[in-house]
Structure 1
Amino acid sequence: MARREQYDDEMMDAEQPQRVRSTVSSVRKQKGRGFRERMDTEDPRNGARGSYDTLETGSGPGPAKSVEGWVIFVTGINEEAGEEDIHDTFAEYGEVKNIYLNLDRRTGYVKGYAMVEYASKKEAEDAIGSMNGQEFLNQPLQVTWCFTKGPARKRGARR
């Protein structure tokens, strides 16, 4: 009988939860947007995280400069065109900083549009004025600004 009582006592001890001392400190760190501390932009530990490039804001509609430069949107590009062909054509109007030419994954051909980036607004305007409607590899091109500002909104207007 003594063995049975000892077994029952051991089982009772196993069923009861043991108290564990809490190790959570009184200061609790929260993660996420709402719990972030104010970031000091002058603090060298933050690096570039607190300061961002900004663009001058003008009033009214018109072209908008991207962070890198002035980007134009070219459509109607032949599917067999290459980046060099586009660069050679648009380099006549100024220094081309970058060309974004997307390819179709399935076929490997050009999707039919490209974005050409210039350093100055004057170069981009010249390219738009000269190349819009011109033929390029037996297809007419449509050239316009890639980024535009919308019309000026009235104060207090909702989206």
Structure 2
Amino acid sequence: MEYGESEGDRARSASDPVRSAQGWVILVTGVHEEAQEDDVYEAFADFGEIKSLHLNLDRRTGFVKGYALIEYGSKDEAQAAIDGMRGESVLDVPVEASWAFVRGRTRDRRD
């Protein structure tokens, strides 16, 4: 721990979201295997302008693998989606949203 740094500061920096090249990306898990882009879009569009939405499909079955990546233009919109979808469902299946990219904890170097 650095001089003047509290435990809260250190814990917060270990999970600070990191901006992607074009915006702020959240990871949505628990997505129903038969969900369509429109289903996920409608659930998350109320929180801000969605710049992109990606549902990864299983090549063999053609069904959704259970997660989605959603990109918002601002950090506030993405945070609103994470907070707003806490405890909510898409197609009657509970989903969970979190930051896709976070700053990792840095290790102290002792040379």
How does the TM-score come out when normalised to structure 1? Answer: 0.59
Structure 1 equivalent of residue 45 of structure 2: 91
Q: What corresponds to 1:60 in structure 2?
A: 13
| Distance in 2, Cα, partners of 1:75 & 1:89 | 13
Deviation of 1:157 after TM superposition, in Å, equals: 5.2
1:107 to 57, 61, 64: 61
Distance 1:153 1:121 in 2: 26
* Residue 82 of structure 1, aligned match among 24, 33, 36: 36
1:151 and 2:105 aligned? yes
Aligned equivalents of 1:157, 1:137: Cα separation in 2: 51
Residue 135 of structure 1 pairs with residue 89 of structure 2? yes
RMSD: 1.7
Q: Please list every run of 5 or more consecutive structure 2 residues that lacks an aligned counterpart in the other structure.
A: 1-11
Q: For this pair of structures, how many residues does the alignment match?
A: 99
Of Structure 1 and Structure 2, which has the larger fraction of its residues in strand?
Answer: 2
Mind listing any 5+ residue stretches in structure 1 that lack a counterpart?
1-58
| Cross-structure match for 1:121 | 75
Report the structure number with the largest CA radius of gyration: 1
Structure 2 length as normaliser, TM-score? 0.82
Give, in whole Å, the separation in 1 of the partners of 2:62 and 2:92: 20
4+ runs deviating over 6 angstroms:
none
Q: Is the 8 A contact 2:33 2:63 kept in 1?
A: yes
Instruction: Tell me which of the two structures has the higher relative contact order, counting C-alpha pairs closer than 8 angstroms and 6 or more residues apart.
Output: 2
- 1:96-139 CA deviation, whole Å, 9 max, x = no partner? 00011111111111111000000000000000001022111111
Aligned to 1:34: none
1:71 corresponds to: 25
- Matched AA of 2:19: K
**Residue type at the aligned position of 1:72:** I
Q: Matched residues, percent identical?
A: 48
